[in-house]
A and B are shown apart, each in its own frame.
Chain A
Amino acid sequence: MTHLPGSPARGRFRPVSAAAGFQGLMAGLVLLAICLTGQVAGAAALEKVTFMPQWLPQAQFVGYYVAQEKGIYRRHGLEVKILRGGPDRGGTDAMQNAKADFGTMFLATGIKKRAQGLKIVNIAQTGQRSAFLLVAKKNHGIHTPLDLMGKKVSLWDGDFQIQPRLFFQKYNLAVTVVPQSATLNLFLRDGVHAASAMRYNEYHLLLNAGVDPEELTVFAMADHGLDFPEDGIYCREETWRRHPERCRKFVAASLEGWREAFAHPEEALNIVMKYIMAAGVKTNRVHQKWMLEHMQKVIEPPKSGVSMGFLAPGDYERVAQALLSEQVIKIAPDYAAFYRDVLNHVEKRQSRR
């Protein structure tokens, strides 16, 4: 293996870079065949499926690990193999290269991929709210959005620039954008005035690097009309078409895993820490605890009125419109084509039968 100079401490959130390429669907076809013939096997015959989250093990995906460890998937008749995501692979990669049956992606990424012609469908929108923040230090005189005028702001590349750029647009800000590395060191050393951060991750990493919350000015995208839902579960359209029941089971079990994780956070943390240790990810329990708590705030936002995993058409439209306006996509995919409300859909089918 090649040594990478200046490689970051792993396990910190890193945006998934867009990568082109479409590989064969061999693995998927094999799984399909298994599924087609495996219906009769009963309880003993579990459907084998694979799942790849978009990043290395961390509490951002604790619901899936809990569903696995607590036997929820098996109870739903699935034998799930959770593949490891990471900087070089993730939900997008899994979809594009058929590395897994199911994967997670940001909504914006999902829409973009669909618009680019990747036949994927969103079968559950777990993250209902945006956790995206721009953080700045008050000692640089930044207290309101307008204070960012002319300042250096570091942004992750790709889809992570959509919200901040709309934010700058909204406030007519001209800023110097600097690429943001996998760490916040540039921001910590005052190399930039503001930086991107996820509330459940980078924001807490700042606190754990000795920065006090009082020292920071936080611009939460959600507070500025840019509340884009984030993590969602995706599969290829073909998988959905052939195995709607399998998709339904996976979503139902995964959501149950999330509920279980929120109900028993310490146990969930034990589980996620086990995965983290196995992957050799350098992080700590305190940080994962913070992440779990803040994941709950985006997955089960208070007073949302939306049931867990549902992609609200309004949210979808808002993100699609933003992508259009940023010219990330030229045509927005149809909501109905993009999203499958698998839980209700299957029920409808069953009732029809």
Chain B
Amino acid sequence: MRRFTGMSSIMWKNASLAAKLIILIGTATACIFLAVLIYNYQSSKATLLREMQEKVRNLTLKTVFQIDAILNSVEKVPEGVATFLECNCPHNSSLEPYLKQMIRQNPNIYGMAAAFEPHSFDPKKYYYSPYVYQGPEGLQQTYLGGDGYHYFSWDWYLLPKEMKQALWSEPYYDEGGGNVIMTTYSVPVYRLSSNGAREFWGVVTADISLLWLEMIVAKVKILRSGYAFLISQNGDFITHPHENFIMQESIFSLAEARQDPELRRIGQAMIRREEGLVHITDFYTGEKSVLFYAPLPSNGWSLGVIFPENELFGELRVLSLNLALMGFSGLVFLMLLIVVISRKITHPLRTLATTTQAIGHGDFAVTVPETGPREIQHLSQAFNRLGRQLTEYIEKRDFIRDTFGRYVTQEVVKKLIESKDSLQLGGENRELSILMSDLRGFTAITATMDPQEVVVFLNRYLAKMIEILIDHRAVIDEIVGDGILAFFGAPEPLADHPEQAVACALRMQAAMVEINAANKADGFPHLEMGIAVNTGDVVVGNIGSERRTKYSIIGAQVNFTGRMESYTVGDQVLISPSTYAVVRDLVEVRDSFQVEMKGLPEPVTLYDICGMSGPYQITLPDTAHDLVLLSRPLPVRLNRIRDKIVIGVVAESWVSQISLTEALVEFRGGLREWEDVRLLLWDEKGQEIPGKIFGKVVSLNRRAHPNGQARIRFTSVSPEYYAFLYQFIT
């Protein structure tokens, strides 16, 4: 059961709009219609029954009065004769003609008799009863009484005598007049006896045929098969459409045969001269019927009018059936209409669904027709607008992604686009590896270049670097000119971010060979790059304001990396102790040295690495060319530079040894380790070499020489200088 309801509820949920509408509207309409139909049927039934009951009652009473009027008119005749007898004590010679006269005057009466007590009318006669009746040849007269017919013990005589009242007999079949039911009205006659007392003398009777009564009752027709019947005071049927009942069955014998005590009770009420209406099963037809009965006041017979309820309600049933059929047709029509309408409604929806699928597959250009009902129009318009907006949005997004993606990794873009939360301002503390690179002396190199050339020159470098960075899943935080700040390990956590960072740095450094080859071909200056890699806790996240947000890192380790980077010279990768601690087993350390950093109490060891084993297998080409001892030291002027500003000049200096990448300089004056310097050299003719060459003091040796010896690693060499240096090497 539960499973079934579960199933059906699922079915309901998955049902189409048309099916749902049909079920809901259909059920509701059918319920309403049914309720109206039932109410209509019931109330019409009640009204019909009420009206019919009234009609039947009226018809019954009308018939009763019609019959009773005739009986009453007949009663007057023997009553008149009785009065005549009581007043006149006539002789038989006057009584008999009088009877004849009465019959002649009353053609309703079949026969009349006067019957007297033994010897009371004519002392000589034991029986005296003249009987006048309508024979086949006119009026005939005979005398009743004799050995074969002892009339004193017959009902027509006995009952008025003993009851001391005039009364109608039970109906009987006339023995002479064919199959005609008769009844007799008997009036007792009294006279004064010799002692003056009133004594019973005899009776006067009038017989009537009940043929007319049968006709009156037979005329009672109700509906198609409703009929009337008459029962006597004993419950015997006097008239009934079923002839076998007449004078044979009584309402009680039927009740007994049918074992129907209710019918017996109805019969008892009828013979008790009651009037009433009952619902019964017709004892003749067996149909559910309504019976109304009323007594004939004259003789206590009871007229019953009965009609089958079915017929009364037959027309109503037909009407209701027609209504039901009409309702059903209407319902079917409604269903079809619902199907059509809902299909019409859902057609644009289906189109919309298909179109949406198309959009789902990336075809944003599709549109739906903006037709149909207003709501659907609105929906279509909204949908089409959505398509346009999506297209615009996608275009914008693509533009953003493409543009943005040049500077940040797809990973960040993806994360920013896909995740709503990722656009929230705020950051998290996380351990990352930070990479910073910078071209040595780039500003100086490009200072004299055409700006357009600078862009091409820089982009060639950056394109390659970015490619490598993205390859190693770095997030490029910032590119400022020639400097790159990138980090590893965010936004997606990266377990081997130190290795990735170091490998990335080495590859970037290695790529410089290729870049410089290209530059050389284009006549651009030789570039050298320094890279620092550090690992440490930073705050990473969307940093900025609502208007401008950047997925970025901040923290002391970032600044630390910046400082580390300032210690690099060209072609060098420096890693911090924390990075080294992780990649120690993989990297090949060329050199390591201690530096003092601002804000840090202890000197920091930086590792200059030149290769990485394991899965990375990178080895940097050995760019540190062997120093060539100059036969004659070259005078050189050192411009001390801090923040790209010349802060001092060391005038008395000589280059004692030189290579393409570094020089040993004897100097007199102040020079600090890790200081940036610009070298100014002259050729043999005393001409200043055009172009520029920058370097970094990587070590100082004051004790080895009276003046001081500095090892300067070139960070930027212009082509002119490169050519100049080249002559010494070869």
Q: A: which residues have CB within 8 A of B?
A: 1-10, 17, 19, 88, 152, 157, 178-183, 185-186, 188-189, 191-192, 207-210, 212, 282-287
Contacts and interface: CB of A to CB of B under 8 A. Distances in A.
B257 A210 contact: no
A185 B159 contact: yes
Interface stretch (B173-181, B388-396, B404-412, B452-460): B173-181
Interface stretch (B228-236, B593-601, B705-713): B228-236
Contacts of A5: 111, 113, 131, 144, 154, 156, 184, 205, 207
A208 B253 contact: yes
Nearest to A190: B163
13 contacts: A1-B176, A3-B175, A7-B173, A181-B153, A181-B158, A186-B159, A210-B267, A210-B268, A282-B173, A282-B247, A284-B249, A286-B249, A287-B253
A4 B156 CA distance: 10
B135 to A, nearest CB: 9
A183 B170 contact: yes
Contacts of A2: 142, 175-176
Most chain B beta-carbon contacts within 10 A, residue among A1, A186, A191, A285 = A191
Contact of B235 (A8, A17, A182, A208): A208
A227 B235 CA distance: 33
B248 A282 contact: yes
Given A5-B144, A88-B148, A210 B159 contact: no
Contact of A208 (B133, B150, B256): B256
B234 A210 contact: yes
B256 to A, nearest CB: 5
A209 B155 contact: no
A185 B168 CA distance: 11
Contact of B162 (A1, A157, A186, A207): A186
A209 B235 CA distance: 6
Contacts of A282: 173, 247-248
Contacts of A10: 173
A163 to B, nearest CB: 18
Most chain B beta-carbon contacts within 10 A, residue among A2, A157, A179, A209 = A209
Given A6-B154, A286-B249, 20 more contacts: A1-B176, A3-B131, A3-B175, A7-B154, A7-B172, A7-B174, A8-B155, A181-B153, A183-B170, A186-B162, A208-B250, A208-B256, A210-B250, A210-B251, A210-B264, A210-B267, A212-B268, A282-B247, A284-B248, A284-B257
A180 B152 CA distance: 10
A6 B155 CA distance: 6
B488 interface: no
Contact of A6 (B142, B162, B169): B169
A8 B172 contact: yes
Contact of B163 (A3, A179, A191): A191
Contacts of A189: 159, 163, 167, 233
Nearest to B129: A5
Given A5-B131, A188-B234, A209-B252, A157 B153 contact: yes
B162 A9 contact: no
B587 interface: no
A285 B176 contact: no
B250 A283 contact: no
Contacts of B170: 9, 183, 185
B184 A6 contact: yes
Contact of A180 (B153, B233, B235, B251): B153
Nearest to A180: B153
B174 A3 contact: yes
Interface residue SS majority, chain A: loop
Contacts of A210: 234-235, 250-252, 264, 267-268, 271
A286 B253 contact: yes
Interface bracket on B? 35 or more
Nearest to A178: B162
Contact of B172 (A6, A186, A283, A286): A6
A186 B158 contact: yes
B475 to A, nearest CB: 113
B157 interface: yes
B639 interface: no
Contacts of A284: 248-250, 253, 257
A218 B174 CA distance: 34
Nearest to B160: A191
Given A5-B111, A208-B256, A186 B247 contact: no
B149 interface: yes
Nearest to B252: A208
B235 A191 contact: no
A1 B155 contact: no
Contacts of B234: 185, 188, 208-210
B186 interface: yes
Most chain B beta-carbon contacts within 10 A, residue among A6, A180, A186, A282 = A6
A4 B142 CA distance: 11
A9 B236 contact: yes
Contacts of B144: 4-5
B162 A192 contact: yes
A347 to B, nearest CB: 44
Interface in B92-132: 110-111, 113, 131
Contact of A191 (B111, B162, B253): B162
Contacts of B249: 284, 286
Contacts of B236: 9
Contacts of A3: 110-111, 131, 133, 174-177, 207
A9 B257 contact: no
Most chain B beta-carbon contacts within 10 A, residue among A7, A9, A88, A287 = A7
Contacts of B111: 3, 5
A6 B145 CA distance: 13
A323 to B, nearest CB: 22
A212 B446 CA distance: 141
Contacts of B264: 210
A2 B264 CA distance: 37
A2 to B, nearest CB: 6
A5 B174 CA distance: 8
A189 B149 CA distance: 23
A22 to B, nearest CB: 16
A285 B254 CA distance: 10
Contacts of B267: 210
Contacts of B248: 282-284
A192 B167 CA distance: 16
Contact of B257 (A1, A186, A209, A286): A286
Nearest to A88: B148
B175 A7 contact: yes
B141 to A, nearest CB: 11
Contacts of B176: 1-3
Contacts of A186: 155, 158-159, 162-163
A328 to B, nearest CB: 19
Most chain B beta-carbon contacts within 10 A, residue among A3, A7, A152, A282 = A3
A17 to B, nearest CB: 8
Nearest to A207: B252
A208 B253 CA distance: 6
Contacts of B177: 3
A285 B257 contact: yes
Contacts of A185: 155, 159, 169-170, 233-234
Most chain B beta-carbon contacts within 10 A, residue among A180, A210, A286 = A210
Contacts of A188: 233-234
A141 B205 CA distance: 34
A9 B172 contact: yes
Most chain B beta-carbon contacts within 10 A, residue among A8, A19, A88, A212 = A8
Nearest to A276: B248
Contacts of A287: 253
B247 A1 contact: no
B560 to A, nearest CB: 126
A1 B174 CA distance: 10
Interface string B240-267: 0000000111111110110000001001
Contacts of A1: 175-176
